[in-house]
């Protein structure tokens, strides 16, 4: 188990315990990379403690601060940091302390053995990422720390590479932290996600837990849900009624009182001149229409910004175009209410 406590101006994390693979997600500037560097000994918190297995790597109270080379952390850097003066095999052999067979075995396991003789500049982004992971594994690390390992990759290959990466990391059996700024990527890479907001862990849980019951408006926003703001009070038939800022009102099955963030998943919103008695209906103006294969994302002003995701077929049937008017409709049961903290009005 890897356990991290760190306190510094940018990061304030207490007892972050990692057993399997944890995705550390958050927007840029939230302190993800700093926390990772503190675990590896590349940065030092003002106060903190890092333990791995039975070893203490950092304990500022007891004056323990092991240098990076003693921490046995496999670190994959965002730009992969492959040594340009060595071949792919040379890079991995460096990590394997000259053990040629072990280095070749790792390149084979990651499917890049055929590129063993290539220099880093001759490798594609995906190949570089695999070589960097092979190099990190070559030391036989006690923990794996991966900083945005997919960031340098082509968006088209990212999903596939992410699944492979997750498999390889999970197979090592050592505690691992994967940093990412993207929630979708986080849910691809790990079974458990911790969301970092301004240096603090805002929420930790499985991807579906975070998406379905976010602990704050920030987490809801980060998971990709639509977030509207308003004021909640008890409504008819046990539902909560929210008067939205800027006009309109919606109902939710969640109980809340006072200032709230209203979170809805874009795919729970239907569009059209629809009949029926769904509880929530907002008249909106279409601002953008983006086709993503068989899905279409529709940006709306209701007047708060809202995003709906519908099938391309229904988008075509509705002849949606920017400037047009439409009704956005969704169920009260698909509407999450989150009390707004004073920090995030």
Partner 1 sequence: MTRAAGRAFPIALGVALAAVLTFLTLPVVAIFTEASPGDLLSSLGHDGALDALRLSLETSAIAVGLVVAIGTPAAYVLATRNFRGKALVTTLVELPLVLPPAVAGIGLLAALGPKGLLGGPAPPLVLETAGVVVALAFVSAPFYVRQAQAAFESVDPSLLEASRTLGYGEAATLARVAVPVARPGLAAGLALALGRALGEFGATLMFAGSVRGVTQTAPLAIYERFGTDFTAALALSAVLVAVSLALLLTVKLADAGDLR
- Site for partner 1, rule CB under 8 A: 40-42, 67-69, 71-75, 77, 79, 81, 83-85, 94-95, 97, 121, 135-136, 138-139
Handedness of CA 280, 283, 289, 293 (dihedral sign): positive
- Nearer of residues 95 and 214 to partner 1, judged by Cβ: 95
Nearer to partner 1, 58 or 302 (CB): 58
CB 320 within 8 A of CB 326: yes
| Min dist. Cβ of residue 181 to partner 1 (A) | 18
Question: In angstroms, what is the minimal distance from the CB of 139 to partner 1?
Answer: 6
Cα–Cα distance, 182 to 209 (Å, whole number): 16
Report how far apart, in Å, the C-alpha atoms of 149 and of each of 146, 170, 186, 236, 328 are: 6, 15, 11, 50, 38
What secondary structure does DSSP assign to 144-196, as a single string? Answer: EEEESTTTTS-HHHHHHHHHHHHHHHHHH-S-EEEEES-HHHHHHH-SEEEEE
Residue 69 DSSP SS3: helix
User: Distance (Å, rounded) from C-alpha 88 to C-alpha 109?
Assistant: 14
Closer Cβ to partner 1, 72 or 279, answer by number: 72
Sequential DSSP letters for 279-322: SEEEEEEEEEEEEETTEEEEEEESSSEEEEEEEHHHHHHTT--T
Of the pair 36, 112, the CB lying nearest partner 1 is at 36
Q: How far is the CB of 79 from partner 1 (least distance, A)?
A: 6
Minimal distance, residue 86 CB to partner 1, in Å:
8
Instruction: To the nearest 10°, report the CA torsion of 152, 154, 158, 164.
Output: -80
Nearest distance, CB of residue 209 and partner 1, angstroms: 32
At its nearest, how many Å lie between partner 1 and the CB of residue 143? 11
Q: Select 82 or 302, whichever has its Cβ closest to partner 1.
A: 82
Output 78 or 249, the one with its CB closest to partner 1: 78
């Amino acid at each position: 188990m890897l356990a991290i406590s760190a306190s510094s101006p940018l990061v304030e994390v207490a007892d972050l315990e990692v057993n399997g693979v944890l995705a550390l997600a958050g927007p840029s500037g939230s302190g993800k990379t700093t926390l990772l560097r503190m675990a590896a000994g590349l940065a030092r918190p003002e106060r903190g403690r890092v333990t791995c297995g039975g070893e203490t790597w950092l304990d500022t109270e007891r004056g323990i601060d092991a240098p990076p080379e003693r921490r046995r952390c496999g670190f994959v850097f965002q730009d992969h940091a492959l040594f340009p003066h060595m071949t792919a095999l040379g890079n991995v052999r460096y990590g394997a302390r000259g053990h040629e067979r072990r280095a070749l075995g790792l390149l084979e396991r990651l499917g890049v053995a055929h590129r063993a003789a290539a220099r880093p500049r001759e490798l594609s982004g995906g190949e570089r990422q695999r070589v960097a992971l092979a190099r990190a594994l070559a030391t036989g690390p006690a923990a794996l720390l991966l900083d945005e390992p997919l960031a340098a990759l082509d968006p088209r290959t990212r999903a596939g590479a992410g699944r492979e990466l997750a498999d390889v990391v999970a197979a090592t059996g050592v505690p691992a932290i994967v940093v990412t700024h993207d929630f979708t990527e986080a849910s691809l890479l790990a079974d458990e996600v911790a969301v970092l907001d301004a240096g603090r862990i805002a929420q930790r849980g499985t991807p579906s837990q975070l998406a379905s019951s976010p602990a704050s408006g920030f987490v809801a926003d980060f998971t990709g849900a639509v977030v509207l703001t308003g004021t909640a009070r008890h409504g008819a038939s046990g539902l909560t009624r929210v008067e939205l800022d800027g006009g309109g009102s919606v109902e939710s099955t969640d109980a809340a009182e006072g200032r709230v963030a209203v979170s809805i998943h874009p795919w729970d919103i239907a569009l059209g001149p629809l009949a029926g008695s769904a509880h929530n209906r907002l008249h909106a103006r279409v601002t953008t229409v983006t086709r993503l294969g068989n899905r279409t994302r529709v940006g709306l002003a209701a007047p708060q910004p809202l995003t709906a995701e519908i099938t391309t077929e229904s988008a075509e049937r509705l002849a949606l175009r920017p400037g047009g008017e439409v009704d956005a409709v969704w169920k009260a049961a698909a509407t999450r209410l989150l009390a707004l903290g004073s920090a995030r009005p």
